[in-house]
Structure 1
Amino acid sequence: MNPDGSTSIAETVGPTFKLYRKLLQRNEDAIKSTLRKTFAFGPNPRHLLDLYYPSANQTGADCPVLIFIYGGGLWQGDRLSPDGLLYANLGHFFAEKCGYVVAIPDYRLVPEAKFPSGGEDIALVVQWLMDNPDKFGAGDGEKARSLFMMGSSAGSIHLSTFLLQQCFASIMNQIVGSGNSCRLRLRAVILCSMPAHFRHSNPARAQVLTSYFADDIDRNCPLGQLEICKRENHISEVMPGIKVLLLTGSLDPEDEILGPVRDFATCWRSDGARSAAMLEVQVMDGHNHISPNLSLGTCDLAEETWGFQVAEFCNAIA
């Protein structure tokens, strides 16, 4: 929140980055000491990902895998900031403190990106991991490794596209099925501060939204995709056995995030008891739209509580 009490995303970005960068710089050596390897996962120059490995297990053997999709309003963002701290701090946290192999990919941005390119890029990441199990320490004959997927803000838009769009059903079936051929098994999805629809969004976002979604914003936003999914299938059949965690910051803006997330949760739960049981909603107390991803790696327990909250959610399922 800003001194004037505003929780607007645009108005909190600058002050939040300034505050947390100082906290991360204090722990810079530890963050950068985590083993990070970079790989290409597709044909586009943006198709690069970083894998982070726990210091205690630098092959990644037996570690669950977490894919994290960052935000950036659909038009900006990189998997690693110029100072090497953001999103290395998040890879460091979940690798070192939670024992995961963490994949953080880049994805195509507006104006190049057009719906459903965000889902396509995530599908390429998942396919690359399935094709390269040695990169996360999977051995021959090993049972399927637990996979978790987390998207933040615009990243959660892309993740919902991957989960709900019928065009990704084939690869989804591979990672949620009961067969033994796939080295990864999707267990849970975390959607952080998701702009589930744009009915009350800042007018300044109109150009970017139109560039990405064209004339189908209401249909192709997360809520619109969920409504289509419900008309064609039960959610529990599209994502069998998958738990979904909706996370919001207590200081997220009501118009752009909190209200749309409530609408998304209401729509999801109206699909029936089985689908409703898949969904959990939690709040990151004291966090605004920007601060959660910046808070990890600060070694401040209060700041990092939400990260442990996610790990507990995942571990209980795995």
Structure 2
Amino acid sequence: MASFRRKKVVLVTGGAGFVGSHLCERLISDGHMVVCLDNLLTGRMQNIEPLLNHPDFRFIRQDILERIVWTGPLDEIYNLACPASPPLYQRDPIHTFRTCTEGVLNLLSLARTTGARILQASTSEVYGDPEIPLQHEGYRGCVNTVGPRACYDEGKRAAETLFWEFGTHQGLDVRIARIFNTYGPRMSPEDGRVVSNFIVQALTGVDITIYGDGMQTRSFCYVDDLVAGLMALMASETTDPVNLGNPGEFTMRHLADMVLRQTGSASRLVHCPLPVDDPRQRRPDISKAAERLGWAPTVPLEEGIARTIRHFAGEVQVDGEREVGLHHA
């Protein structure tokens, strides 16, 4: 007898954002029904416009701080609802922290009511300015609780605690992904993180701003690789936090030189003081993801940057006048 499997119903909060929109697209492509919930503070309708007329896609404009009314089945919840770049999450730090606490409580309550498996998009920021060169999941971090980044760093740490408590003591089926720097098409030109900053500056011909000596490092993961990792984690039986990122480590100067070379820009490199609490190094240990999820990134930085430049070239007006917020997050 043939067996018929019901489509999964999946809620993606923050689904109109950079990563969330790629995740929605992939879930739809895999045959699932997707509800995208986003308050559009940083998400953009243009990111999900190709999905709006799809019969298995629904958009709800709402903040996760508001009570979410749900009827019918719900199989999975991906929580990506929070600004992820310093200039954006610092615009309203109290709202950022409440999103990571009160908003997360709302989603955990929804998961408890519906029986859905729920995944929290956490961050490498829980490690703060790390004191070890390769960050593994057991590292407890070096985070400033009263600095300009604390609303996000501590908010995400609090969200992980809530997930752990609900999973351990209330039996919820929880997953925690610690996401390292992600880049790719659909990043906003005003995003404020280093990849988008460098590309926008190069395309508009303005100075490329490097903080400090440019020797601080980041590990950059292309968005398609991250989405594959998130879905692999959701499908796994792993309830511990898992790092998702690309362990390739690059200096800010190397990235700037790569962007200049690929764009052919004549922008100059200028140096400014480091922002408060800006981490000097980020590099994930992804051995747990490899062992438990069978996951590893596949897109080299050169290739991913080329794809991202093509995206921005279609969005950015090359007039030399654009100003962007600058951070190395």
Length-normalised TM-score, structure 2: 0.34
Which entry has the higher C-alpha Rg, 1 or 2?
2
Length-normalised TM-score, structure 1: 0.35
Task: Give the helix-richer structure, 1 or 2.
Answer: 1
